[in-house]
Structure 1
Amino acid sequence: MNSNRRVFHFVLYSVGILLAVSIAGVLLGFKWLPFNRVNLVSDVYSAKDTAQAKLADAGDSITAPVVIEKLPSKEFMLYQQPRLITNFNADTNTASLQGFLGKLKALKNGEKRKVRIAYFGDSMIEGDLLTQTFRQLMQQSFGGSGVGFVPITSPVSKFRQTVSTSTAGSWDDENFKDAKTSRLYPSGHIFRGNGATVQMTDQTVKDSAVILEKTLLCGAVNATVNIVANGVSLAVNTDKPVNRISLSNDAGRTIKLGVNNPELPVYGISFESESGVIVDNFSFRGITGVEFSKIDSSFLSAVSENNPYDLIIFQYGVNLLFRPNDKNFSWYAKVMLPVVKKIRNCFPETDFLLVSTADRAFRYGGEYKSAIGIDSLIKVQAALAYETNSSFYNQFAAMGGTNSIVEWAKAKPSLANQDYVHPNHRGAEILANYLFDAFIREFSKMK
């Protein structure tokens, strides 16, 4: 009996050790033919690799749906120029984004109005990186105060420096990853609270005399809703898909909101001055932009009507570069073209700027280099802008082009993290200055 037990334990421990070594070998990329023959999980991962290879092959077989039609007045290759906002007009002395720039000019001439910018992106702008500097520069040049839109909570709420956020109670978060509704706010979230509170403090305004309106953005409930703002109970009507409810309009920087109705869709709170530039950061990590296909067009149109934007900036791409040897991104053009067209149709009065992916590196032959498919991806992104009459900005070229992320990571002090994907706060500040300078160059072309 003891002999059988010893044999059982020996087999159990041996299989356990071999399984652990097999998993570690796959995760560490260890390959040796004799070991591969006894690797317990090699079949699982080889099947996964085969499926991914088939997906890549399928992508290679797709003909890009974006056709570059050559026109005498257009020059597609302008997309390669660094630190240039282009609408592909062959006459580069004519400004791009003229509708938006005209509104900035009105601000410069003393007109009292809000000029809203929605900046969409992935983890490259998470925590208000890049956008916090871009917002500051725009407001310094054209007026305006306030951090703009802030979601109720986010994975980086403690990391973000431009606003402090604390919550109490239970906030239910429905988002791009697990949405059951097609009426997600452009942030990719809907929050609901039952006895939950959130307190936010705008950290961007240094002048204590500046008046900030603190506004709740929320959805519809077929009844009067009671909320609490800074200890004051308010009965509000929420009869539109997108409602803007003023919570306070004073020199205070802090707002505390309480919600007792679990049916009320809560989107976030906005901090805005009466006039000037407002820049909203809409970051959502790990996405590529195609997720906006999930949002109902009529709801996006309601956002455009009740919380309009003068410029939408759309920056994605780094999450498409998740495999080092991918070169063909024509499949992305196929799925992304309808998304860009939908957003443009839902925001018909809004200028649109598509920003390319930044640099990203993988290890090739023992050293880190730019992803071999990055030029192909940027060309596809530029073609999307060209086809939809949007403007384009090459973030990769602005960084310095090939292997710039490697150089940024090695710089002293560093400008990028050692993941060779994300610029750090110093790098993000540089990118924001480059983008702002590109806007100013276009603004100087306005007659």
Structure 2
Amino acid sequence: MEENKNRNYKVFALVVYCFIIYLIVSLVAQYYGTNWKPLANVNLVSDIFRAEVMSDSILINNPNIENDEIMAESIVMEENVIEEVIEEEVDDFNLYLEPHLITDFTRNSQQPAMPNFIKKLVELKNTKKGKIRIAYLGDSMIEGDLLTMTLRELLQDEFGGEGVGFVPIYSNIAGFRTTVTANSSGWKDDHFMNKSSKGFYISGHVFTGNGKASFNDRTIKNNQIPIEKSIIYGKVDNGKLNHNGTEKTLDGTEAVNKTVLANDTSTRLSISSKTAEMPLFGVSFESEDGIFIDNFSFRGSTGFELGKVNSQILNTIQSVNNYDLIVLQYGVNLLFRPKDTNYDYYQTGMQPVIEKLKKSFEGADFLLVSSADRAFRYNGEFKTAIGLPNLIKLQATMAKENEMAFYNQFASMGGENSIVDWASQKPSLANKDHVHPNHRGTRILANNLFNAILDDYKKFDNNKLEEN
């Protein structure tokens, strides 16, 4: 027993002696400024002296500061050093996998992924003046103004604006769309899928003939605000158009022209063409100021079709009806074979389209929204298309290589088998085709995207706006 006590005492004494020796060596090293490598990372007094040095530095630069303030500022300085290390910006392609994130593939970025667009949002928020337009291009996933109707409402509630924006002269799903009532007849519709067609708008359509149409914008909440009701059309000389019972002569020397037909509090517009060969694209409802989303959906499109739009038309659109953000949401129509896993052909076909769009819409930011989930039946059970992860990675690659912002719609809706889950819920969030989210589902997608835009918006430094 006595032997164990002596042994414990010896161990304790050894620890104390070593500590004292180590402390003395640390003090000597700190005092003489020596840097012995084995001691460098475990110097017992380095943190104490470092804090004193920082405090002395603060005191020299601020002779009237009190001791408590010195300590507080020392702590802040230490925290800032740590924060700078943690928030160092690094290139990170794998950010494309993150849900609810609009990314420029820079981790810890303090700058918006869509800088020009976000700057315009800040200006609109601060001044309540000016217009911001978003061209949202996609396939049947946004047909009937799905997703865009909710996103438009949320953005207008936050940043101002009244009006549904662009509406085509005629649409075969007009009865499905709830944001505008449209009745049209008597028009010839040339579009993307007609091989001989040309001269169509970014919507993929151009209308001619002695047709008539009536529209009622059902998005207007404030019926006291004047709404500009415009007609968008192609080249024409002395074209005759009747609107709301009044005849109007349209002259247009550009590939795209825009004329305001009425500016009042009415939400309705009726037109009829008296010049059969006059090319018409659509009408537009916009308040004087605010943010507007134009829905350009085309069923069955992969995005390749946009390459068919005449460059002169694309270039003129930006000068006549300027867009600040171009959103591209495609992908589901590439997933038509359940066993496909290689989509390199998509990049080959879409790259010249992206280059063409970026050249035409100069000054606009671009956001590539990935395909949402899409399921096939495998061994008798619906599951996410096996090639979808490859397609989304390819879309992210295209976005990064073309300096476009990216948003992972698939991850944001829940990832693998989310469309299966959405279709089986009660009430359901998707159709039984396991391809298309319904009204309820697209409202969720729109809210997610809106919140991602707000997160990007919050990164903007207002001081930079004041400097400019």
Partner of 2:68: none
Partner of 1:362: 376
Partner of 1:218: 233
Aligned equivalents of 1:283 and 1:74: distance in 2? 33
Q: Secondary structure at the match of 1:313?
A: strand
Q: Which of 112, 121, 125 is the equivalent residue of 1:95?
A: 112
Structure 1 residue 278 corresponds to structure 2 residue 313: no
Aligned equivalents of 1:365 and 1:238: distance in 2? 59
- Structure 1 residue 111: Cα displacement: 4.2
Indicate if the aligned counterparts of 2:134 and 2:323 stay in contact, CA closer than 8 A.
yes
- Runs (5+) with no aligned partner, structure 1: 1-71
Indicate if the aligned counterparts of 2:113 and 2:456 stay in contact, CA closer than 8 A.
yes
Matched AA of 2:192:
F
Deviates more, 1:398-407 or 1:296-305: 296-305
Q: Secondary structure at the match of 1:322?
A: coil
Q: Which of 201, 222, 234 is the equivalent residue of 2:216?
A: 201
Partner of 1:152: 169
1:366-405 correspondence to structure 2 within 5 Å: 366-405=380-419
Aligned equivalents of 2:195 and 2:214: distance in 1? 25
- Structure 1 residue 341: Cα displacement: 1.1
Matched AA of 1:77:
N
- Structure 1 residue 180: Cα displacement: 2.7
Aligned equivalents of 2:313 and 2:218: distance in 1? 31
Partner of 1:69: none
Could you report, residue by residue, the CA deviation over 1:329-354 in whole angstroms, capped at 9, with x for unpaired residues?
01111111111111011111110000
Flag the 1:109–1:307 CA change in 2: closer, same or farther, 3 A: same
Aligned equivalents of 2:231 and 2:219: distance in 1? 19
Aligned equivalents of 2:117 and 2:195: distance in 1? 33
Q: Which of 281, 284, 295 is the equivalent residue of 2:309?
A: 295
Matched AA of 2:312:
S
1:78-117 correspondence to structure 2 within 5 Å: 78-117=95-134
Structure 1 residue 438 corresponds to structure 2 residue 455: no
Partner of 1:189: 205
Matched AA of 1:385:
A
Indicate if the aligned counterparts of 2:214 and 2:268 stay in contact, CA closer than 8 A.
yes
Matched AA of 1:186:
I
- Structure 1 residue 73: Cα displacement: 4.7
- Cα RMSD of the aligned pairs, angstroms, is 1.1
Could you report, residue by residue, the CA deviation over 1:290-325 in whole angstroms, capped at 9, with x for unpaired residues?
011111222211111111100000000000000100
Deviates more, 1:203-212 or 1:251-260: 203-212
Structure 1 residue 122 corresponds to structure 2 residue 139: yes
Aligned equivalents of 1:380 and 1:182: distance in 2? 30
Aligned equivalents of 1:416 and 1:98: distance in 2? 33
Structure 1 residue 422 corresponds to structure 2 residue 436: yes
Aligned equivalents of 1:325 and 1:200: distance in 2? 44
Partner of 2:251: 237
- Structure 1 residue 92: Cα displacement: 2.9
Matched AA of 1:124:
M
Matched AA of 1:252:
S
Deviates more, 1:419-428 or 1:232-241: 232-241
Q: Which of 246, 250, 274 is the equivalent residue of 1:260?
A: 274
Q: Which of 177, 193, 218 is the equivalent residue of 2:193?
A: 177
Q: Secondary structure at the match of 1:210?
A: coil
Aligned equivalents of 1:228 and 1:298: distance in 2? 28
Q: Secondary structure at the match of 2:336?
A: coil
Matched AA of 2:447:
N
- Structure 1 residue 94: Cα displacement: 2.2
Which of 1 and 2 has higher RCO (CA within 8 Å, sep 6+)?
1
**TM-score of the aligned structures, taking structure 2 as reference length:** 0.78
Indicate if the aligned counterparts of 2:255 and 2:312 stay in contact, CA closer than 8 A.
no
Return the index of the structure with the highest Cα Rg: 2
Q: Secondary structure at the match of 2:446?
A: helix
Could you report, residue by residue, the CA deviation over 1:23-67 in whole angstroms, capped at 9, with x for unpaired residues?
xxxxxxxxxxxxxxxxxxxxxxxxxxxxxxxxxxxxxxxxxxxxx
Deviates more, 1:139-148 or 1:103-112: 103-112
Q: Secondary structure at the match of 2:339?
A: coil
- Structure 1 residue 182: Cα displacement: 3.7
Could you report, residue by residue, the CA deviation over 1:98-139 in whole angstroms, capped at 9, with x for unpaired residues?
110010100110241000000001010000000000000000
**TM-score of the aligned structures, taking structure 1 as reference length:** 0.82
Aligned equivalents of 1:134 and 1:111: distance in 2? 19
- State the aligned residue count: 373
Partner of 2:30: none
- Structure 1 residue 235: Cα displacement: 1.5
- Structure 1 residue 181: Cα displacement: 4.0
Identify the structure with the greater helix proportion: 2
Could you report, residue by residue, the CA deviation over 1:199-255 in whole angstroms, capped at 9, with x for unpaired residues?
00000012221210000000002x211111100011221221111111100000100
Matched AA of 1:401:
G
Aligned equivalents of 1:179 and 1:234: distance in 2? 33
Residue identity (%) = 49
Q: Secondary structure at the match of 2:448?
A: helix
Aligned equivalents of 2:272 and 2:299: distance in 1? 27
- Structure 1 residue 74: Cα displacement: 2.4
Aligned equivalents of 1:379 and 1:242: distance in 2? 36
Aligned equivalents of 1:107 and 1:166: distance in 2? 34
Aligned equivalents of 1:258 and 1:332: distance in 2? 41
Matched AA of 2:203:
S
- Structure 1 residue 160: Cα displacement: 0.3
Could you report, residue by residue, the CA deviation over 1:339-398 in whole angstroms, capped at 9, with x for unpaired residues?
111101111111000000000000001100000000000011111101110000000000
- Runs (5+) with no aligned partner, structure 2: 1-88, 462-468
Q: Secondary structure at the match of 1:237?
A: strand
- Structure 1 residue 187: Cα displacement: 0.3
Aligned equivalents of 1:334 and 1:167: distance in 2? 38
Aligned equivalents of 1:91 and 1:180: distance in 2? 49
Partner of 2:151: 134
Aligned equivalents of 1:431 and 1:372: distance in 2? 22
Matched AA of 1:173:
D
Matched AA of 2:224:
A
Aligned equivalents of 2:157 and 2:298: distance in 1? 27
Partner of 1:164: 181
Q: Secondary structure at the match of 1:109?
A: helix
Deviates more, 1:289-298 or 1:321-330: 289-298
